[in-house]
């Protein structure tokens, strides 16, 4: 799902912004699935899996599709079509870095929410317990 990226910076700063959006979405979606999972008797696996999957669908899927499309499709046979497609993408020079930061942000967000919701966050974050 594409979201408006016109306000985002370019390069590393834009990748960090995209990663922060994925991190926030991962936290919120884990909290949602934590509530749903607790009511339905789910373990940690389905909560983590569903929240990570939906975080990827909501935040990474547009950039990941563009990355896949530009690398593996043979539909870009004319220079004019390539220019038109690249004009639609925000910061096509750093799309790989943005996808990486979005994937990492989603994973870290889900992990942080899981660690806090599991009730054992002091031991996980400080190593003492």
pLDDT digits (tens, 9 = 90+) for 71-91: 777 666 777 877 787 788 878
% of the chain residues with pLDDT over 90: 51
Residue 109 pLDDT > 70: yes
Q: Helices (DSSP H) in the chain: which residue ranges?
A: 11-40, 44-55, 61-72, 79-87, 95-117, 121-126
Instruction: Output the six-digit token pair for 47.
Output: 């909560």
pLDDT for position 76: 62
pLDDT digits (tens, 9 = 90+) for 3-37: 677 778 888 999 999 999 999 999 999 999 999 99
Contact between residue 16 and residue 98 where contact means Cβ atoms under 8 Å apart:
no
Contact between residue 104 and residue 19 where contact means Cβ atoms under 8 Å apart:
yes
Question: Which residues 6+ apart lie within 8 Å of 5 measured at CB?
Answer: 14, 18, 90, 91
Q: Look up residue 88 and give its DSSP letter.
A: T
pLDDT for position 59: 92
In the block, residue with structure tokens 């983590």 = 48
């Amino acid at each position: 799902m594409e979201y408006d990226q016109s306000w985002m910076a370019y390069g590393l700063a834009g990748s960090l912004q995209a990663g922060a959006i994925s991190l926030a979405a991962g936290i919120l979606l884990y909290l949602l699935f934590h509530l749903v999972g607790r009511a339905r008797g789910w373990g940690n696996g389905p909560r983590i899996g569903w929240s990570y999957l939906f975080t990827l669908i909501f935040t990474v899927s547009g950039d990941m599709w563009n990355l896949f499309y530009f690398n593996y499709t043979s539909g870009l046979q004319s220079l004019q079509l390539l220019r038109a497609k690249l004009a639609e993408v925000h910061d096509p020079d750093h799309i790989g870095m943005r996808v990486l930061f979005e994937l990492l942000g989603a994973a870290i967000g889900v992990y942080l929410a899981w660690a806090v919701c599991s009730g054992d966050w002091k031991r996980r974050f400080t190593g003492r317990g």
